[in-house]
Amino acid sequence: GIQVEQSPPDLILQEGANSTLRCNFSDSVNNLQWFHQNPWGQLINLFYIPSGTKQNGRLSATTVATERYSLLYISSSQTTDSGVYFCAVEPGSNYQLIWGAGTKLIIKP
């Protein structure tokens, strides 16, 4: 089956720093989504981005489907950005999402 790899696994930054999170996938996909899971376990959809670039405030994402990777950019980090960032892909027509292991981000004040 398709493999989804996220890097780095852990990231510790000072408030105000910028970061780039990467998601590689091993086969073509129908769509790709980025999620943020906060320390209380709540999963928030950040981007639905099968290809191209999208921006939402301090966050932006780019997916290059032909090269099988996606990047999530976080600028001017805030402590509330802490948590785990997941990339999830839909590989075929059975509508299930395959998830990466996540990047754990800690923003220090």
Partner 1 sequence: DAGVTQSPTHLIKTRGQHVTLRCSPISGHKSVSWYQQVLGQGPQFIFQYYEKEERGRGNFPDRFSARQFPNYSSELNVNALLLGDSALYLCASSLVEQSPLHFGNGTRLTVT
Residue 88 in the binding site for partner 1 (CB under 8 A): yes
User: Cis omega before residue 8 (within 30°)?
Assistant: yes
Residue 85 in the binding site for partner 1 (CB under 8 A): no
Instruction: Give the 3-state secondary structure of residue 65.
Output: helix
Q: How far is the CB of 14 from partner 1 (least distance, A)?
A: 25
Residue 91 in the binding site for partner 1 (CB under 8 A): no
Contact set with partner 1 (CB under 8 A): 30-31, 33, 35, 41-45, 48, 86, 88, 90, 94-102
